Amino acid sequence: MKTCVMPPTPGALALAGALIRAARLVAFPTETVYGLGASALDDTGVANVFAAKGRPADNPLIVHVASPQDARFLVEWTAEAERAARHFWPGPLTLVLPARQGHATVAVRQPDHPVAAALIRAAERPIAAPSANASGRPSPTEAAHVEADLGGIIPLILDGGPTGFGVESTVLDLASTSPAILRPGGVTPAMLAEAGIHATTTPVVVSQGASPPAPGMKYRHYRPDVPVIMLIGGERHAGDALARWAREISEHGGRPAVVAFEREAAGPWPNVILSSPEEMARELFRLLRTFESDADVILVEAPRPEGIGLAVVNRLEKASSAVLAEEDPLPEEIWRVRRSGA
């Protein structure tokens, strides 16, 4: 199959809407990451999403709607949902609510991106869409990332340029007895609290054999083709620790790459020094994809787990082969990978 990459012109949007109505797949930008869209009302289209991504069958999808009014046709709309939508829709907040029919719950959100909104209008139906990457890979924040993973598999990618937030939406469970954040994202716990929604942030454990209520809870995600090592709790000497590890990898004949906040981590290896957790959220997935071709090991300094940093740490935990403190040695597995030539 030939995959067309097109700017979101009126003609391209009309074509995309027709493809969605015909149970075909379209990748499109949102304000978080690129999504892989199918008609939420068509079982064949939804099945095609799972097949194209190689996604586990029990990993749920998020349904993207044009308005809160459209969401009411899919879920039991509550006073808490109305409050959340009034404050954060359109935007990077997904609400898990009791389904009107079929599944026990449905995850819904109204995206805040003109291309996503235009596609939903063109398709004339809600669109089920996970991130538009091969399952387990870093989420795509540019059309080129989608093409790298799904080129030749899907018919159309709408290229709307780089996305804004860079990490997926916050998922808020409103179907249980009390609100709970199932996945941190662009809407932080403090922002929810300011809107009068007090949600727990304790990770929800999905038991063996059970289906998760939201994506990103059960399976490993976001991993590039080389190991990622995450440094935690290194606010004072993080740069020195990362530089020490990078030198050690280089001395063993390996190629390190570093993503950090401290200039001390820079050196004669590929490196990006970021200014804030917000910038890391925007750049993380792009950097993981860029450095996987330039390095054997990617070393990343984690931000403090607060605000948007909570979402970044969540993604890094899932992407990482090891989580280390600054005094820790590099794991032995790194050298076994080098010796095997993998």
Number of CB atoms found within 10 A of residue 287's CB = 20
DSSP output for 50-90: HHHHT--TTS--EEE-SSHHHHTTTB---HHHHHHHHHH-S
3-state secondary structure of 286: helix
CA distance 276 to 307: 11
d(CA 232, CA 249): 19
Domain chopping of the chain, boundaries: 4-194, 228-340
Superfamily of domain 228-340: Threonylcarbamoyl-AMP synthase, C-terminal domain (3.40.50.11030)
Give per-residue burial for 141-157: e unless 16+ CB within 10 Å, then b: bbbebbbebbeebbbbb
Per-residue pLDDT of the chain (342 residues; tens, 9 = 90+): 899 999 999 999 999 999 999 999 999 999 999 999 999 999 999 999 999 999 988 888 999 999 999 999 999 999 999 999 999 999 999 999 999 987 799 999 999 999 999 999 999 999 999 999 999 999 999 999 999 999 999 999 999 999 999 999 999 999 998 999 999 999 999 999 999 999 998 765 555 555 666 676 556 679 999 999 999 986 668 999 999 999 999 999 999 999 999 999 999 999 999 999 999 999 999 999 999 999 999 999 999 999 999 999 999 999 999 999 999 999 987 776 543 444
Report how far apart, in Å, the C-alpha atoms of 339 and of each of 258, 296, 302, 323, 342 are.
21, 12, 28, 22, 8
Taking the domain 4-194, which CATH number applies? 3.90.870.10
Contact (CB, 8 A) for 68 and 89 = yes
What is residue 99's three-state secondary structure?
Answer: strand
The C-alpha atoms of residue 180 and residue 28 are separated, in whole angstroms, by 28
- Encoded amino acid at 217, one letter: M
The H-or-E segment that residue 107 falls in is strand 105-109
Distances (CA, A) of 323 to 117, 131, 252, 314, 318: 38, 25, 21, 12, 10
